[in-house]
Amino acid sequence: MRVTVNFEPEEIPGDSISVADLLKMRRYSFPLIIARIGGRLVERTDYETTFVREGDEVELYHLVSGG
């Protein structure tokens, strides 16, 4: 399926993938991430049960310490 991740088009095998698996696939290792699908925030507790599907616009951002 074709989706966009952080505004870049991306081809992902299959017709859906959980947010948790997408993060693993992209090797996002930082513990704190903001994830949104179609502009909607995905709660951290829902990463396993929320699925990205064809055409979705996904945004994934690291939050790192410093301020």
Binding site residues, other proteins, CB under 8 A: 30-32, 34, 36, 39, 41, 43-44, 59, 61-67
SS (H, E, C) 2-56: EEEECCEEEECCCCEEEHHHHHHHCCCCCCCEEEEECCEECCHHHCCCCEEECCC
Q: How far is the CB of 40 from other proteins (least distance, A)?
A: 9
Q: Which is nearer to other proteins, 28 or 51 (CB)?
A: 28
Q: Which is nearer to other proteins, 25 or 63 (CB)?
A: 63
Q: 60: part of which helix (H) or strand (E)?
A: strand 57-62
Q: Which is nearer to other proteins, 2 or 44 (CB)?
A: 44
